[in-house]
């Protein structure tokens, strides 16, 4: 039996939700339920190397026309040390999934790493991008120090698993209020990190280190963009969101209070309201 690699809920204009690193599609539960009840078709995949897609894509195939997510077993454990999943690979995966589901275009919503994939998607498939939602992400590429830190983290994960990563990052991912008052969110985030496949996560780290400088794309993005950022996000702070807002010609900026990096999980009602307001305005402008 094939495992489900994505959620597909509701019917209506499509919205594709792209999770961050090192998470999986379960982070979007509140948005899937909310938008599908309001007349949208919501697609939330486990990106390549994550969640249930990890088990089926232990080695990445190169992206290109006719590209598909496939199960390719590892012959040799050493291969895991060289694998790279580029942001463009993931964008091609999304286009292939949309083909399979017969979705011509969609609003592409990505959080953090999902935002990098959204930047690639609109660059490669502009006609299939109705609008973008960029949450907790940034446009510039990594500097040398950041690239080195990613290479080190990839080695550490392959050698020792994900537990250290969960312990080291929770206080950056979540705002003090979330940590104090929302134990179920804390547990969910810790569990997503702990169950992530180190090989898939390491491959994505290498892909993020190799990503392009999306600042150069900003002025060419013509679709409407909603930018969302947590007021207390130390990973992708408000300044990163303001930089994108300045560079884009058609964007709105939503700053969410009492949230850090995981805005959609920490403040789901506020996040959903912003998302719905944006999507509703798109539908109204398309309708008349
Ligand atoms: C994420 O949440 O996806 C990561 O923080 C992205 C990154 O490491 O740049």
Is the shortest distance between the CB of 208 and ligand 1 below 6 Å? yes
Is the shortest distance between the CB of 153 and ligand 1 below 6 Å? no
CA–CA separation, 128 vs 115, rounded Å? 16
What is the number of structural domains in the chain? 1
Q: For residue 51, how far is the Cα from the chain centroid? A: 13
In a domain, 22, yes or no: yes
Is the shortest distance between the CB of 110 and ligand 1 below 6 Å? no
**Ordered alpha helix ranges (H), 129-224:** 144-160, 163-173, 176-181, 183-195, 198-209
In a domain, 133, yes or no: yes
pLDDT of residue 72: 43
In a domain, 220, yes or no: yes
In a domain, 30, yes or no: yes
pLDDT of residue 37: 98
pLDDT tens sequence for the chain (288 residues): 334 589 999 999 999 999 999 999 999 999 999 999 999 999 999 999 999 886 655 444 444 444 444 434 444 555 556 789 999 999 999 999 999 999 999 999 999 999 999 999 999 999 999 999 999 999 999 999 999 999 999 999 999 999 889 989 999 999 999 999 999 999 999 999 999 999 999 999 999 999 999 999 999 999 999 999 999 999 999 999 999 999 999 999 999 999 999 999 999 999 999 999 999 999 888 765
pLDDT of residue 212: 97
Contact 188, 195 (CB under 8 A): no
User: What is the residue range of 30's domain?
Assistant: 6-286
In a domain, 257, yes or no: yes
Instruction: Output the domain CATH number for residue 161.
Output: 3.40.50.1820
Is the shortest distance between the CB of 47 and ligand 1 below 6 Å? no
In a domain, 1, yes or no: no
């Amino acid at each position: 039996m094939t495992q489900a690699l994505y959620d597909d809920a509701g019917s209506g204009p499509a919205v594709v939700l792209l999770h961050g690193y090192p998470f999986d599609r379960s982070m979007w539960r509140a948005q899937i339920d909310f938008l599908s009840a309001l007349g949208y078709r919501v697609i939330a995949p486990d990106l390549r190397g994550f969640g249930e897609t990890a088990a089926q894509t232990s080695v990445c195939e190169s992206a290109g026309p006719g590209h598909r997510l496939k199960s390719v077993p590892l012959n040799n454990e050493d291969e895991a040390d060289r694998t790279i999943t580029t942001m463009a690979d993931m964008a091609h995966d999304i286009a292939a999934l949309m083909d399979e589901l017969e979705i011509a275009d969609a609003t592409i919503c990505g959080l953090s790493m999902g935002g990098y994939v959204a930047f690639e998607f609109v660059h490669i498939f502009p006609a299939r991008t109705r609008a973008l939602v960029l949450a907790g992400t940034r446009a510039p590429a990594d500097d040398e120090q950041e690239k080195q830190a990613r290479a080190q983290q990839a080695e550490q994960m392959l050698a020792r698993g994900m537990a250290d990563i969960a312990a080291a990052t929770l206080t950056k991912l979540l705002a003090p209020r979330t940590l104090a008052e929302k134990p179920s969110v804390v547990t969910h985030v810790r569990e997503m990190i702990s169950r992530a496949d180190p090989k898939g996560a390491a491959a994505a780290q290498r892909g993020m280190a190799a990503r392009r400088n999306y600042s150069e794309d900003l002025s060419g993005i013509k679709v409407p963009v909603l930018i969302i950022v947590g007021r207390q996000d130390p990973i992708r702070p408000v300044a990163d969101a303001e930089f994108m807002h300045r560079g884009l010609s058609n964007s709105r900026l939503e700053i969410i209070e009492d949230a850090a990096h995981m805005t959609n999980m920490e403040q789901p009602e506020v996040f959903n309201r912003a998302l719905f307001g944006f999507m509703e305005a798109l539908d109204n402008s398309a309708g008349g």
